[in-house]
Amino acid sequence: MADMLDWTSADSEKLDIATYEKRAEEMAGRLREETSAGRLPFLTMPYMAKLKQELADLKERFKGFDHMLLLGIGGSALGARALQKAFFPQQDQPDHTCPCLWIADNVDAYALEAYLAKLDPTKTIVVTVSKSGGTIETVGQYFILKEWAQKHLGDAWTKHMLLVTDEEKGFLRGEANKHGIHALPVPDHLGGRYSVLSAVGLIPAAFMGIDIDALVEGAREIVGPLTEDNLSGKVLEQHSAFQLAAWAAALQDKGFDEMIFFAYIPLWASFGDWFAQLWAESLGKEGKGSQPIPAIGVTDQHSVNQMFMDGIRNKACLFLTCPNLPAGPRFPADLPDQFDYVRNKDFGELIQAEALGTRMALSQNGVPLVEMRMGEDGPKQAGKLIALLGTATILTGWLMGINPLDQPAVELGKRLAKARMNADGLEEEKADLNNFLTADRDIREF
């Protein structure tokens, strides 16, 4: 079954999508310019042939390890976790032994102490991911794991380390050069939220045995037409990524400033968290953008769906489904009469019915909705989804008149945190911090 977008409930007739569709030639020209200049490796993937060879070599090395501990945050971890949950669910199931992927993506002393105490250092490889090599939440954990490995492994500690960072500069690149640690590059112009189909996400995928070729094949099916030297506005106008971008930009013009990502493929629910960073960090700029809201079907029908259905009419929805999910066990024939409607039916039919009911209810309650209907729930389809949403995000940003590839506001909080830790320099931030901490506070017990 083919992968489809169902636009029936998108409310396109209520939106001024035509204003953005008229800009297809302009957007095609910008894509031609950016790809030819090497500024969109998310689309062109010029690094892939070399990376696949490196991953093939690493897979042999990984056979000596039971555990991979991934140190990363934000885009350095969200894609890996989405792939893990989607295609390596056995780690969350009873009686699973190894291999195991552990992701340290927060400043969490409880979790870090558990890794140090319970992981076998002789069977663990630590992968540290930071493009800049200076992300303190990640590099700080690297310092601690480095000491742990040196203590338990002696001179062999470097064989249990893998770095993913800038090809030429930064602290982690210096560590690789100084100690001879194997390091793979994060290509220039590839921001973390767009990096899942690079070494950032594909190293843990290779460790788990996920079909990397299928992931990349799916992505290339989406981005291939957009990287042609002769890309025209006419071709772009028919591309699903541009159609989603025009829809998203037109929605914001009408006050739809929240975008729900409702996943009715349970194992793919973590793609909602990946999408939330992608959408928020790319488009939340200059007072513009729509707030992404990850939601899990069926779980969130019993929680936040009340707000979606009956709250402020400012929400649109990307609704993820797959009609070919496993059938599962059958409901028994001997059931109370009040449940006779599920007698002898497959358990898997229930999520399909729930998805249909929720999708119809959202549409009837004024939520513009595009259904992303995947023909299968395999790696190729995941690659297509990653490429489709990433490309649509870039095009949406350009249509909005903002840069979807930077994240300037995020840096302020990072500088203030460094000032709190008394990092060198940052005198202005330290003064602001002192003013904030010494101001009169309105504090009340509860």
CA distance 144 to 141: 5
φ, ψ of residue 125 to 5 degrees: the values are -115, 130
- Would you please indicate which residues are annotated as catalytic (active-site) residues? 281, 302, 414
Residue 164 near residue 93 (C-beta atoms within 8 A): no
Output the six-digit token pair for 229: 């030297």
Residue (of 90, 116, 213, 134) closest to 411 by Cα position: 134
- Contacting residues for 305 by C-beta, under 8 A, at least 6 apart: 295, 358
How far is Cα 245 from Cα 322, in angstroms, rounded to an integer? Answer: 22
From residue 61, alpha-carbon distances to 185, 204, 206, 222, 442 in Å are: 18, 13, 11, 32, 56
Q: Which amino acid is at 148?
A: W
